Amino acid sequence: MDFDTQSIESLYGDHVEALNQRYAQAIEETSLRGVLIDAGKPRTTFLDDQSYPFKVNPHFKAWLPLLDNEQSMLLVTPGERPKLFYYQADDYWYKPAADAQGFWTEPFDIHPIGSPQDAHNLLGPTAGLAFIGENSDLAEEWQIEEINPDSLLNPLHFERINKTAYEKRCILEANRIGVQGHRAAQQAFSRAESEFEIQHAYLAATAQREQENPYAAIVAINANSAVLHYQHYETSRLPQQHLHSMLIDAGAQYNGYAADITRCHAFRPGLYRDLIQALDSEQLELIAAIECGLPFLDLHKQMQLRLATLLREFKLTDLQPEDMLAENLTFTFMPHGLGHYLGLQTHDVGGYLQDRRGTLQQPPEAHPTLRITRNIEDDQVFTIEPGIYFIPSLLNGLRESEHAGAFNWDRIESLLPCGGIRIEDNICIDAGNVHNLTRTCFQELDS
C-alpha cells in the first residue's frame, strides 16, 4: 500500500490539491464564483442550555482535520488559495481553539475570527457565492442565494466515492486504532464483564471518547446481538453460565475519517463458535472475489448464496441453496446489505449515485437494504459485513410461512440466546489491488 509508506503531510498536500480541482470543476459547471463551507455550531437541546455533541459538517472536514472548530468557515474560490476563517472565541466559559498550527495549515490563507460577523466582513459582497452548511438562517441573513445547491452537492458527493491517498491512509489509521479497542473488548468479554464495562474497555484502548467515535458502538451480549443497531449498554454482569456471545460493532476515527469494524466472540465452544468460524471463512472468500468492475449487487448475491449453503451445512434447513434464494429466505437470517461506502461518514455518501448530476439507482426490490448499487472501482473504500442473525420477529414470519417445514426449529431455537453474528472489515481498492485494512491492522497487532 503506497499510501502507508508516504508521510501524512505529503499525502495531505495532494489531497487538498485534488479538492481544489474538484471544487473548481463543480463551481465552473454552475454560474457561481465560489463556495462558503460552514463548519457548523453545536445544537442545544429543547428549552435547555446544554448542547448535543458537536458533529462538524462533513464538507468542512473533507478539507481540514478540524473536528471541533465550530463556527469556522472555509471560502473556496477557483484559482485562489482557500481562505480559512478560523474561529477563536474570547471566552472564559469554554476553552478557545488553539492557534492554527500543524501540517494542515500550509495550503490555506488563515484568518482568525472572533465571531461569524468577522467572517462576514472579510468575505465582502456575497453575490455569486453558494453556502454549504446547516445554518441556512445565517446564509440568508448574509444574502447568499444558493444554499446547499444540488448543482454542487451532487458532483461533490459523487467524487467523494473516490478516495485520495490521504483519505485511504486516514481510514487505515482509524483501523489501527479500532483494532486495539476490539482486542481490549474481547479480553473484557472473556472476563465476563458487562456491556457497559466492555464499552469502557474499548474507549480506553482507543483513547477516544464516545462522541469522538464515528458512530455509537454496539456492544451486544447474547440475544441483544440479534438487534442490528442495538443501542444500550447493560451495566450488570451476567453469571458466566448464562454468557453465550458478544457482538461488538465499533469504530474509531482519524482526522475525521471512520473505521467501522465488527467482531463476534463465543464465550465457550459450540455451534455458535463454529458458525462464527464458518462465516469468517465465507467473508474472506467473498473479499477474495472482489475485483474492479464487479457490481456490488453481484457480491451481495454471492454472499446470499454462501449464506444459504452455510445454513444447509449447519443443518438449520434442508432446502437447497438455490431454492432458498428463489424464495428470498436468506433475508430472514441476514436482513441488511453486504456493505456500504466508508469515509468522512460511517455510511458514506454516494452508494446510489451513478453520475455527477445526481442520478440515483435505487436497490432492486428483492434487495431493499442494499446500500451500494454501483460497481466496485479503483479508489473506493467500503465495508464487507455478512451476518447471520436469529431475530425472533423475522423467524416468526418464516415459521408461519409455507416453508416452515423445511427448517430445523429445535436447532434454530438453540441459537436464539446467542443472537447473531456479523463480521465486518474495511476494504480499500488502491492501484487496482484489494486491501483488507482491518485484517492488516489485526495482523500488525498480533505480530
Where does this chain bind Mn ion (CB under 5 A)?
260, 383
Q: Which is nearer to Mn ion, 71 or 253 (CB)?
A: 253
CB count within 10 Å of CB 357 equals: 12
- The alpha carbon dihedral of 217, 345, 280, 185 has a sign of negative
Give the three cell numbers for residue 337: 446489505
CB 247, min distance to Mn ion, A: 12
CB 257, min distance to Mn ion, A: 14
Q: Which is nearer to Mn ion, 154 or 383 (CB)?
A: 383
CB 229, min distance to Mn ion, A: 10
Q: Which is nearer to Mn ion, 19 or 423 (CB)?
A: 423
CB 213, min distance to Mn ion, A: 13
The residues near 334 (Cβ < 8 Å, ≥ 6 apart) are: 303, 304, 307, 386, 387, 388, 389
Q: Which is nearer to Mn ion, 70 or 260 (CB)?
A: 260
Give the three-class secondary structure for 427.
strand
Q: Which is nearer to Mn ion, 82 or 337 (CB)?
A: 337
User: Strands 129-132 and 146-147, how do they pair?
Assistant: parallel
CB 96, min distance to Mn ion, A: 36
CB 371, min distance to Mn ion, A: 9
C-beta nearest to Mn ion: residue: 260
User: Strands 257-266 and 420-422, how do they pair?
Assistant: unpaired
Q: Are 214 and 251 in contact (CB under 8 A)?
A: yes
Give the three cell numbers for residue 282: 465465507
CB 424, min distance to Mn ion, A: 5
> What residues pair up with 146 in beta bridges, in sequence order?
130
Q: Which is nearer to Mn ion, 152 or 218 (CB)?
A: 218
DSSP 100: S
> What residues pair up with 74 in beta bridges, in sequence order?
37, 84
Q: Are 171 and 437 in contact (CB under 8 A)?
A: yes
Q: Which is nearer to Mn ion, 100 or 427 (CB)?
A: 427
**CA angle 348–354–356, rounded 5-degree value:** 85
Taking the C-alpha atoms of residue 52 and residue 54, their distance in angstroms, rounded to an integer, is: 6
DSSP 3: G
Q: Which is nearer to Mn ion, 208 or 383 (CB)?
A: 383
- The alpha carbon dihedral of 208, 212, 213, 218 has a sign of positive
- At position 118, the amino acid (one-letter code) is D
CB 270, min distance to Mn ion, A: 27
CB 130, min distance to Mn ion, A: 32
Q: Are 394 and 228 in contact (CB under 8 A)?
A: no
Q: Which is nearer to Mn ion, 16 or 258 (CB)?
A: 258
Taking the C-alpha atoms of residue 249 and residue 263, their distance in angstroms, rounded to an integer, is: 7
User: Strands 73-76 and 34-38, how do they pair?
Assistant: antiparallel
- Per-residue exposure over 129-163, b if at least 16 CB sit within 10 Å of its own CB, e if not: bbbbbbbeebbeebebebbeeebbbbbbbbbbbbb
CB 216, min distance to Mn ion, A: 13
- Distance set, CA 70 to CA 65, 125, 208, 399 (Å): 13, 23, 19, 52
- 293: nearest Cα among 215, 377, 388: 377
Q: Which is nearer to Mn ion, 155 or 387 (CB)?
A: 387
CB 339, min distance to Mn ion, A: 7
Taking the C-alpha atoms of residue 308 and residue 330, their distance in angstroms, rounded to an integer, is: 6
Q: Which is nearer to Mn ion, 40 or 420 (CB)?
A: 420
